[in-house]
Structure 1
């Protein structure tokens, strides 16, 4: 199969925001958008393992937890839901919560969930663009306001909502107690260089997340031997025959494509259904292959990075 542009689904959420720039073709919305969900767009195709999203938070999200594989399968689902966050943009003072400050008994957890004091028991952490967080299934978590997040997850949308900050949506406290790890979590991940251009952001049993920083006016070959998702987070260029600009996402499996990098360079997030970085994912093509006749960005628009990437102590 070929490398395809992912289809886009915009999802309204009460905690979302109206301004999606520069991540959506229509930057300003009439109703608050919480998610842009990407799909491979194949009708009747094979089931996919992963789901790629963008999250936009105008308010704090609910406190929630997701089931692991064993629990999900006992409920008739194919998998649980572990996820990872790459923070694309963050307002001053933005926070995320992953895990609890201290261990709780089920009785303490239930009481805190019922009276709302659970919010004060979460391990809230300052968040900035470039931070990476891993949220394994069973981890109690929440996302604060003022963030744009690229999320990669197992392909399961089951969420047990514990507290919703006064919003009227249904809560699932009994289900949450059954699956939650009532303890602190080690969530923040530090990137690790594989090559100068390629950094492993995090890996888990279900997926690997990488960042590719490719310099201007170069050409690279990308080999997707596993189910893979790519998201343009800065710069621009072309992937195969498709123009690639900020906010564009692509899907590939068992295929190769050339990446023609534009004059601003390009930064890509790559998520693959593998437990470790894929060998041979990326190689630079010889100098004679670096120009593709006729290549230019659509409408002649220049694409520039507007995101202050942060490496959490490890240079990317």
Structure 2
């Protein structure tokens, strides 16, 4: 099929206990339910949450239908997979998220029969002074000591806490115990999965768990726990391109995330080997000009630039910020450009899982 265009999807909303009203108050979203909201899945192909197209010739079809019919054109030449590889969401952490972890790829396949686990990254859009994240466990604790601390809810005794500020990104591989909040608005990029094991005394909806369930959950957490990874917030590596700045926020084998601060037109070249997903997080809108048409991407909205789209020209209406996510060739898309810009290999590796 010819005539590809930027694909917009209807978001999927979730109402967990840690949510609030920041999607309206800080992102300017309109037409949302009156209840507190915790997550807005902007780009999703996870089971029954697969997004439905809201624009253009494919309006009404689901993202899953499109990737099954047009894998090369939408995701990238030669790509085959059970689902669109990335899930992108906003999270309102007005409250603290439960302490939990997600299975890594090996655990997901062996234990759950799932095609992949869930490595994720959090890009901090807004945070209260003193806001922090918990990510990873400290060295030197036995399984029994970890279980005791988790049962008591004494997370700081065994986990690492780091302060964060807007612009930071935390890359969290599968198997890493973590939480964040309160007082944070986050953009998350992750593998397409919703596997999770929880150590907290309550579920996602704030309901208390009985003793048997809690102890079983903690044992499951410890069975899947990675103790060798200790994520830290990273401000990213920034390259100036004319009047614009391009910050590499994080990168690994499953995804890369960039932050583009646009004051003038930005040309994203053709990428027949991969898609690019865009989300506007700045105040202004962005006009996307491509062969065959124009699409306006407003504040706090997202789209997929299909692999077959060709070059796209992003024209900001005023100064704005766009987050760009994709599945990278790490040398071609991340390490090479940063090395050419003079960034040391140690700093490039610290973006996540970039191995030289």
Q: Report the TM-score range of the alignment, normalised by the length of the smaller protein.
A: 0.7 to 0.9
CA RMSD of aligned residues (A): 2.4
1:46-125 map, 5 Å: 46=67, 47-74=83-110, 75-125=112-162
**Aligned-pair CA distance for 1:236:** 2.0
Is the Cα contact below 8 Å between 1:208 and 1:275 reproduced in 2?
no
1:300 equivalent in structure 2:
none
Q: Which moved more, 1:115-124 or 1:93-102?
A: 115-124
**Aligned-pair CA distance for 1:4:** 1.0
Q: Distance in 2 between matches of 1:270 and 1:277?
A: 18
**Aligned-pair CA distance for 1:167:** 4.3
2:310 equivalent in structure 1:
256
1:187 equivalent in structure 2:
232
Pair 1:43–1:140, CA change in 2 (3 A): closer
More helix as a share of residues = 2
**Aligned-pair CA distance for 1:277:** 7.1
Kindly report structure 1 stretches of 4+ aligned residues shifted beyond 4 Å.
164-167, 277-280
Q: Distance in 2 between matches of 1:275 and 1:176?
A: 32
The SS at the match of 2:279 is: strand
Is the Cα contact below 8 Å between 1:16 and 1:33 reproduced in 2?
yes
After superposition, the C-alpha distances for 1:62-106 in whole angstroms (9 at most, x for unaligned) are 001111111101121010110111100011121111112333211
2:27 equivalent in structure 1:
23
User: In the alignment, is residue 168 of structure 1 matched against residue 208 of structure 2?
Assistant: yes
More strand as a share of residues = 1
1:44 equivalent in structure 2:
65
Q: Distance in 2 between matches of 1:162 and 1:183?
A: 19
Q: Distance in 2 between matches of 1:130 and 1:80?
A: 26
**Aligned-pair CA distance for 1:56:** 0.3
Give TM-score scaled by structure 1 length.
Answer: 0.80
Pair 1:159–1:22, CA change in 2 (3 A): same
